[in-house]
């Protein structure tokens, strides 16, 4: 193999950012071939060593085993989500079972696990540091939960299940992206009548991207949600909403329903092979929640007050609709439109009035400034080759120390999957040298016309702060082992740093400095700011119901026998809950990517709410001092949460910051439901 493949050469770029200007689609397959070869060889050396096992020759050696794989996969997986194409999608389908097979081969290597098992049995006598002990325990747990103790047919079957689940998750994701990419609704100028200028401009820009002359609404949240909020055309709102809700269940080759059914069957079989009654029992055993019962108790404690609030709001919205001479039942495509009218009536808030104060660049600076005040970070733009012209990069420093490279990729496009997320091209570690992370935030905000600033909704700005909270968790990480760095924590703890960071967006002094009008530069008027903050919990019944319904359906899918017809099971769960007819699940099953694109949030979509109990309580610590940037609390937050990765049990980390674990009342209070 020649060294012309950039993955196999030194990266002479600022901070060794991947040389995206040199990387071509054709480089990935041979780079992965070499990465698999190197990783297998490294694992074999560890497994077949003649020396007695030690932490250094086993665990630390495994930490180094995937150096090339981490480099190649870090680039590939980010591009597959944020800037995909047919070639990358074909390679992703080819790689999914190969990755799964390699993982099973490693996790079920009897000699390798024997060495880890020996270390685990002797762990109290090895003189390990607290971090090393944690890493050893997590390695042993990972191997055990991956089938290392299985033998014979059970071992072979689990490996086959893992490969098939990888294929199904990839197919689910690509089907969803295909549905989102291909559907759009072309509209004339007259069809856009009554919509605010910012939505009309965004719809025109979306049309230009597809070489169309007028306006289109796509299935990007940044377009379809404001269209549902503002379009007075009930017929068009219905068409758009039904297309949005039908992603993944349109029949044909992109339909995800059969994939969901097979996925649930295989997950249940996997759990049984590993000695668990249900997949949920298996999944939650390593989370803070521990049991399905604990998760259901949390969700149901929130469900009833949220449903009551939503039903009360539905009555108000129905009256507004009837006042428009629409004598019909309130429908899901009506809710956002009449909720916007109700917000205007109750809080005198108009999105068109608010949006000019929330410029993307200003909100980025606000997020940076809060990180500076809390953690002493500075952000300097850098000139480095990136994977798309819309992406931009900053060097992150703390004093004179280089902490990270942060990449922001904020605009929606057809090559990017929907949603918003944080990922990384490189993880933090300090095993052999001080390796600092390259972290990326990916969003899907509507791109403004050339020469005009990108304007966000307040919810968009909250999303930006949320994902930046994840980025801080990655960039502030300061542990030795990459295995536990950054966001490598329990799923129901990982949302704490992100959801907690959202609170700083609502701090008045932050908004008074950064919420500046796009045309005049004037700071948001005090009276408008007061109304905005007073309305933060407006429509919280709706938001909580659509989220909690999704979490309860996810839990129900995984706490018993796999349903033969998941859509019927979804309907049964919603009916048993008394789901309000005018509200749908935030993520209906065929497009529930959190749960079915992989195992990440499977039986764990509740995680956002579990973390919210903590984030509401954690920010109260700052409120109680009267200083949102209290330096002593900020240092404790850094030392106990943001810099520690998974180096300790999450309960221990939280108690280290707050002194005790919170109760659900903190969440209900924060959402205005208690």
Catalytic (active-site) positions: 467
Could you tell me if residue 517 is left (phi over 0), alpha (psi between -120 and 50 degrees) or otherwise beta?
beta
User: In sequence order, what are the beta bridge partners of 407?
Assistant: 393, 440
Residue 54 carries which DSSP code?
A: -
Instruction: Measure the CA–CA gap between 367 and 303, rounded to whole angstroms.
Output: 32
Cβ burial of 142 (10 Å; 0-12, 13-18, 19+) is middle
Q: Which of 435, 381, 431, 364 is nearest to 403 (CA)?
A: 435
Instruction: Measure the CA–CA gap between 178 and 93, rounded to whole angstroms.
Output: 14
Instruction: Measure the CA–CA gap between 485 and 645, rounded to whole angstroms.
Output: 5
C-beta separation of 612 from 670 below 8 A: yes
Residue 410 carries which DSSP code?
A: E
Residue 387 carries which DSSP code?
A: S
3-state helix, strand, coil in the chain (%, to 5): 60, 10, 30
Q: Which of 336, 667, 366, 638 is nearest to 499 (CA)?
A: 667
Q: Which of 279, 225, 257, 240 is nearest to 591 (CA)?
A: 257
Instruction: Measure the CA–CA gap between 134 and 259, rounded to whole angstroms.
Output: 36
Instruction: Measure the CA–CA gap between 336 and 109, rounded to whole angstroms.
Output: 54
Instruction: Measure the CA–CA gap between 135 and 30, rounded to whole angstroms.
Output: 32
User: In sequence order, what are the beta bridge partners of 621?
Assistant: none
DSSP reduced 3-state for 43? helix
CB environment 272-299: b (16+ within 10 A), e (fewer): ebbebebbbbbbbeebbbeebeebbebb
DSSP reduced 3-state for 406? strand
Instruction: Measure the CA–CA gap between 95 and 36, rounded to whole angstroms.
Output: 11
CA distances from 518 to 196, 392, 452 (A): 16, 21, 9
């Amino acid at each position: 193999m020649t060294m012309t493949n950039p993955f196999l050469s030194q990266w002479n770029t600022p901070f060794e950012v991947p040389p995206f200007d040199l990387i071509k689609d054709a480089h990935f397959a041979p780079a992965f071939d070499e990465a698999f070869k190197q990783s297998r060889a490294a694992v074999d050396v560890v497994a077949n060593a003649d020396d007695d096992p030690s932490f250094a020759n086993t665990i630390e050696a495994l930490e180094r085993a995937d150096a090339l794989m981490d480099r190649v996969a870090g680039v590939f997986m980010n591009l597959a989500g944020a800037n995909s194409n047919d070639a990358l999608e074909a390679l992703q389908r080819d790689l999914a079972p190969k990755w799964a097979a390699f993982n099973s081969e490693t996790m079920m290597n009897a000699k390798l696990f024997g060495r880890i098992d020996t270390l685990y049995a002797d762990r109290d006598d090895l003189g390990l540091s607290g971090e090393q002990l944690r890493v050893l325990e997590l390695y042993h747990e990972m191997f055990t939960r991956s089938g290392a103790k299985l033998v014979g047919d059970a071992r072979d079957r689990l490996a086959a299940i893992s490969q098939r689940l990888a294929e199904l998750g990839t197919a689910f994701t690509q089907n969803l992206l295909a549905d989102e990419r291909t559907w759009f609704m072309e509209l004339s100028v007259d069809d856009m009548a009554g919509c605010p200028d910012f939505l009309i401009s965004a719809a025109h820009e979306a049309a230009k991207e597809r070489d169309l002359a007028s306006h289109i609404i796509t299935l990007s949240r940044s377009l379809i949600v404001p269209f549902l909020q503002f379009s007075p055309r009930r017929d068009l709102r219905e068409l758009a909403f039904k297309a949005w809700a039908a992603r993944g269940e349109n029949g044909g080759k992109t339909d995800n329903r059969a994939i969901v059914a097979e996925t649930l069957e295989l997950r249940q079989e996997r759990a049984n092979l590993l000695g668990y009654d249900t997949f949920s029992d298996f999944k939650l055993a390593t989370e803070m929640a521990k049991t399905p019962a604990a998760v259901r108790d949390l969700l149901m404690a929130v469900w009833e007050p949220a449903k009551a609030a939503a039903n009360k709001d539905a009555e108000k919205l129905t009256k507004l609709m009837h006042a428009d001479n629409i004598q019909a039942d309130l429908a899901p495509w009506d809710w956002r439109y009449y909720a916007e009218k109700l917000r205007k009536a109750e809080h005198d808030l108009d999105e068109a009035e608010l949006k000019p104060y929330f410029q993307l660049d200003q909100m980025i600076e606000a997020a940076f400034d809060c990180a500076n005040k809390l953690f002493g970070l500075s952000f300097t733009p850098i000139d480095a080759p990136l994977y798309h012209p819309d992406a931009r990069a900053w060097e992150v420093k703390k004093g004179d120390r280089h902490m990270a490279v942060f990449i922001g990729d904020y605009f929606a496009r057809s090559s990017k999957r929907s949603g918003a997320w944080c990922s990384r091209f490189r993880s933090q570690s300090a095993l052999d040298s001080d390796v600092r992370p390259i972290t990326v935030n990916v969003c899907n905000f509507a791109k403004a016309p050339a020469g005009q600033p990108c304007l966000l909704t307040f919810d968009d700005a909250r999303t930006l702060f949320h994902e930046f909270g994840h980025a801080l968790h990655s960039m502030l990480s300061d542990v030795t082992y990459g295995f536990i760095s950054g966001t490598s924590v329990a799923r129901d703890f990982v949302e704490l740093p992100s959801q907690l960071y959202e609170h700083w967006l609502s701090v008045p002094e932050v908004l008074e400095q950064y919420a500046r009008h796009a045309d005049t530069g004037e700071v948001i008027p005090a009276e408008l700011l007061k109304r905005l903050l007073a309305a933060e919990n407006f429509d919280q019944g709706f938001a909580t119901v659509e989220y909690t319904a999704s979490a309860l359906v996810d839990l129900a899918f995984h706490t018993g026998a796999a349903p033969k017809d998941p859509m019927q099971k979804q309907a049964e769960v919603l009916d048993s809950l008394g789901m309000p007819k005018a509200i749908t699940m935030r993520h209906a099953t065929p497009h529930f990517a959190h749960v079915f694109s992989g195992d990440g949030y499977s039986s764990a979509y509740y995680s956002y709410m579990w973390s919210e109990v903590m984030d509401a309580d954690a920010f109260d610590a700052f409120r109680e001092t009267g200083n949102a940037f209290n330096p002593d609390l900020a240092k404790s937050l850094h030392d106990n949460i943001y810099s520690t990765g998974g180096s300790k049990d999450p309960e221990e980390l939280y108690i280290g910051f707050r002194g005790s674990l919170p109760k659900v009342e903190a969440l209900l209070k924060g959402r205005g439901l208690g």
